[in-house]
Amino acid sequence: MLLNWGIEARKWQLLVKQVQALSIFQAFGSVLSGVAFAITTPNRIGEYGGRVLHIKMGNRIRVISLAMLGSISQLIITLVTGFTGLLYLKNLNILSTTASTHPLSGLWINIIVYGVLLVTVAIVLFYFRLSWMIRWLEKLPGKNKVIEYLKVLDGFKTSALIRLLSLSLFRYIVFVTQYLLLFDVFGVNIYWLQGFWIVSVLFLLLAIIPTFALAELGIRGKVSIFLLQNFSSNYAGIISCTLGIWVVNLVVPALIGSLLILGVKIFSNR
């Protein structure tokens, strides 16, 4: 858990440094405060609001776009690895045997695979061409302060964007490793390579399905069983693993973040 959110804190520190310098401990507190807000909002969108509490008042709106950039970098890794995982499972005919026996099931699988590929390519192009977006928005009539706030994204060079992607990849590896370790703890016997790609598809589906973090546990459990049922019949172990990940990566950080938010409010009142 510490490694997971520590990497995210480093990403956040790098993202906001051109607006406001944060120590790694301040960045860590900001990230955990974001988790506390995220757990009660759809697809964790409230995370941005929690993070900006640790940013100076005049900089808060500007860093929201930076937080979104960090989320996009993590999404790209999720899409790329998820797409590869889909190809892996498709090659093993796991998706065909797991999916409905409806005659169109194979067609739908192909639609999903190629749809994920198109979305991935579009987001990668958007990520590395942020300056083009800024230039285009500046040419629109009636531009307002929103564009001024977005201009902070124009300062990121390709090398910085690649660095963000690298940190996102390391964090993703931590995610998957957590799952593989808990598979072993709860007796879900699965080869690590198969486990890696199945978890990658799991993360892809969780990124696509709109949900609240509080309700995410049930969805995680159902999707995990759906993907793993051809490899293990230990459903209790799969659910236990899902619960463990949910508690370690969301509940505990959210509780710590709530205490940090309370501390910020008390300090502000004084």
Give the residue from 207, 149, 169, 168 showing the smallest Cα distance to 11. Answer: 168
Residue 32 pLDDT greater than 70, yes or no: yes
CA angle 17, 63, 75 (to 5 degrees): 95
Residues 220, 206: Cα–Cα separation, whole Å? 7
> pLDDT value at position 264?
59
Residues 65, 31: Cα–Cα separation, whole Å? 15
CB atoms within 10 A of CB 31: 27
Residue 265 pLDDT greater than 60, yes or no: no
pLDDT grade, residue 172 (50/70/90)?
A: very high
Residue 218 pLDDT greater than 60, yes or no: yes
Cβ–Cβ under 8 Å, residues 95 and 89: yes
Residue 113 pLDDT greater than 80, yes or no: yes
**Bridge partner list, 212:** 42
Residues 218, 224: Cα–Cα separation, whole Å? 10
Residues 267, 270: Cα–Cα separation, whole Å? 5
What average pLDDT is seen over the chain?
83
> pLDDT value at position 187?
92
> pLDDT value at position 144?
61
> pLDDT value at position 106?
65
In this predicted structure, which of 130-134, 226-230, 250-254 has the lowest mean pLDDT? 130-134
> pLDDT value at position 89?
84
Name every residue whose Cβ is closer than 8 Å to that of residue 200 and which is 6 or more positions away in sequence.
Answer: 78, 81, 82, 84, 85, 176
| pLDDT average, residue stretch 164-170 | 96
> pLDDT value at position 270?
52
For the chain, percent of residues with pLDDT exceeding 70: 82
Residue 65 pLDDT greater than 90, yes or no: no
pLDDT grade, residue 104 (50/70/90)?
A: very low
Give the residue from 252, 93, 244, 95 showing the smallest Cα distance to 180. Answer: 244
Q: Provide the total of helices (H) and of strands (E) in the chain, helices listed first.
A: 13, 0
> pLDDT value at position 211?
64
**Residue 26 phi, psi dihedral angles, 5° rounding:** -65, -40
pLDDT grade, residue 148 (50/70/90)?
A: low
pLDDT grade, residue 62 (50/70/90)?
A: confident
Cβ–Cβ under 8 Å, residues 248 and 37: no
- Structural domain count of the chain: 1
> pLDDT value at position 73?
94
| pLDDT average, residue stretch 67-89 | 92
Residue 75 pLDDT greater than 80, yes or no: yes
Residues 75, 71: Cα–Cα separation, whole Å? 6
Tokens at residue 57, please?
């008042």
| pLDDT average, residue stretch 15-34 | 89
> pLDDT value at position 145?
61
Residue 137 pLDDT greater than 70, yes or no: no
Please give the sequence-ordered ranges of beta strands (E in DSSP) within 75-194, or none if there are none: none
**Residue 212 phi, psi dihedral angles, 5° rounding:** -90, 145
- The parent domain of residue 182 ranges over 2-269
Distances (CA, A) of 107 to 81, 111, 201, 230: 22, 6, 18, 21
**Angle between the 24-38 and 252-269 helix axes, to the nearest 10 degrees?**
110
Residue 138 pLDDT greater than 70, yes or no: no
Residue linked to tokens 């120590």 = 23
> pLDDT value at position 102?
44
